[in-house]
Structure 1
Amino acid sequence: MEEEELGQGWLCTVHEAWKPVQLKTGTWGRKYVAIKRYRDNVSPNQPTWESLRDEATIGTAVDHPNLLRVQEVIETDRGPHLVMELLDGVTLDRLTTDGRHLVPLMPPLALEIIYQVALGLHSLHTLEIDGKPVFPVHRDVKPHNAFLTRDGRVVLFDYGICHFTGMKLQDLPNQVYGSCHYMSPEQALGLVDITHMTDQYGLATMLYQLIAGRYAYEGCAQNILYDVVNPEKSPPLDLIEQRCPQVVPILRRCWQNNPKMRYPNMRWLARALWQARRTYQSINNLAVVRPALTGWTLPSSTPTRRVATAPMPTAHE
């Protein structure tokens, strides 16, 4: 039974729902889940109709604590309904804003967040279905699609434009897929033949945003995409050098226009993030430990599970 809308995009909506479950005591209780389905105005005749079925293919196959798994797929005359874990926490885009502008986080916290996303992406990139690799590429790595739970787990979700072998909805030539602030040059150029290294670009841009408190590129979408594909353009790194110089070589490598010049895979990038965090902590006389991504609470009067009232420590504290 659906109860409330948690969020929506141009194609789908996500609702909180519950289903009856039998408890160990023999009595019946409620299990709360999230259900993703097409919006009511989406027609089965639209070319994008198969996108949710592709998302179900990836979502039911993933198995990693930093990836959101689709628990069940319910087929209806309105297309598939994806039943997922109902996460209790906040999306990273809410965590890094005070309602008016972006707020930078302390570097160890930002590095731990991105480290967890990198682990999830490595699992996604090496995914096999029926014993065969399908080479998924998320293509939409951004704060809006990463969730921080109350217990400090970062979960990447939304496989709606994930590119993989065997996908039903084929990409159109010269069509741009992704979000302009986090696109790689190959995405911005509309190239069809992309690899897992594409996600490194978006993840590095997320890291930049969490530490600098601003987007890597500013302006309208057209200007941003022009800057992304221009090899002579690069985001300003002065704020990063001031707050966490250990991150600068990571960003430069992930932002290489040639994907082959980036890290070989996400595991290599995760190791670099781990080392950067430890070095920063050591130089700044901090305990060299993984920071706890907890310490914030949700408002008791707010029904949604996607709003935080007390953000994590920022770079100004």
Structure 2
Amino acid sequence: MSAPEPRRLKFIPTAATFRLGEPLGVGAVGTVYRAESDDVPSPAAVKVLHPHIAHDDTVVDRFQREIVIMERLNHPHIVRHYGGGMMDGRFFYAMELLKNGSLSDLIKRTGPLPWPLAALYTAQIASALQHAHNHGIIHRDLKPTNLFFGDDGRVILGDFGIARDTHDADGTDPGRTVGTYAYMSPEQICADGEITGKADLYALGCVLYEMLSGKPPFKGANFAQIWDQHLRAVPASLREQGMECPEWLEHLVMQLLEKERDARPFNARAVQGFLRDHLEDEFGREYAEVIRGRFAAP
């Protein structure tokens, strides 16, 4: 099977070279390897497209679109991107290696998080989302398994594999339902053609709810049951379940989880600012350091 034609590249290939190490994970589209490079901070993670699908135009276009998307994003709470190219005739792209586990791992290990820590993480995620939205990128798959931890404890958003690039008229997946059942907004479930950043805010509400309660707001035996709840059900009150959570934070959760997108906060920046103001009132201007020192899990 011949290698894909270089002319199909939609991005400028990186000049960096990588030495692949052990595989870190295998997905439907590619394999992620631990890698070393003299050209970028090491170690790195390199995702290589599977050779048996390298001639599938849809898969290749989506893979390249993720590279193009990541080239536009540069934010302390978004995974750092080191570029992409061809390696032995196969598409690849490289990113920072996040080796401290995911938010999902943390919740499974500790259960519900202390509310100050959940609020701090939510503010960091909101900051990442606003940066992406400012560049026309809607993540569409925000969930605890796509949120990782840096060496300094900050939350880092990754996996833009099904992100929507609003600048790309050919890559918007019109009429398709995409996302992860437990975190999908009503408009994603209905395959609304006008998916906006408000869909990511709904998923942020699901993630915040899970941080505070240890479980997503809606659960069911199958996707149909979960979707029906996203469309019609009101989440159980956190405070009535005995979760330690100030009233203002539960109000934010419920606002993020509004069925109608116009009833959700104006944008991710508004969420970040709301949380910052309340956390400063509670813990002072250095609230991030205070919260990490007092509440962060070992």
TM range (shorter): 0.7 to 0.9
1:247 aligns with 2:240: no
SS of match in other structure, 2:145 = helix
SS where residue 94 of structure 1 aligns?
helix
CA drift at 1:175: 1.8
| Deviation at residue 53 of structure 1 after TM alignment | 0.7
More relative contact order in 1 or in 2 (CA 8 Å, sep 6+)? 1
Q: Name which of structure 1's ranges 117-126 and 77-86 shifts more when overlaid on structure 2.
A: 77-86
Q: In structure 2, how many angstroms separate the alpha carbons of the residues matched to 1:74 and 1:294?
A: 38
How many Å separate the matches in 1 of 2:155 and 2:147? 7
Residue 16 (structure 2) pairs with residue 18 (structure 1): no
TM-superposed deviation, 1:159 = 1.0
Tell me, yes or no, if the aligned pair for 1:152 and 1:293 is still in contact at 8 Å. no
Higher helix share: 2
Q: How does 1:27-66 map to 2 (within 5 A)?
A: 31-45=42-56, 47-66=58-77
Return the TM-score normalized by structure 1. 0.78
Flag structure 2 segments of 5+ consecutive residues without an equivalent.
1-18
Report deviation, 1:112: 0.8
| Cα pair 1:112 1:291 within 8 Å, conserved | no
> Cα–Cα, structure 1 residues 3 and 114, in superposed 2: closer, same or farther, change >3 Å?
same
Task: Tell me the residue number matched to 1:119.
Answer: 127
Q: Please state if 1:82 is matched with 2:93.
A: yes
Distance change in 2, residues 1:89/1:203 (3 Å)? same
- Identify the residue that residue 272 of structure 1 maps to in structure 2: 274
Describe how 1:153-302 pairs up with structure 2 within 5 A: 153-167=154-168, 170-219=171-220, 220-230=222-232, 233-239=233-239, 242-244=243-245, 245-278=247-280, 281=282, 289-291=287-289
User: Structure 1 residues 258, 167: closer, same or farther in 2, change over 3 A?
Assistant: same
Counterpart contact for 1:139–1:161, Cα < 8 Å: yes
Secondary structure of the equivalent of 1:80? strand
**Structure 1: runs of 5 or more not aligned:** 23-29, 128-134, 296-310
Corresponding residue of 2:13: none
TM-score (norm 2): 0.83
Letter in 2 for 1:255: L
**Alignment length, in residue pairs?**
275
Residues 180 and 169 of structure 1, relative CA distance in 2, 3 Å threshold: farther
Cα distance in 1 for partners of 2:98, 2:249 equals 30
Aligned to 1:312: 297
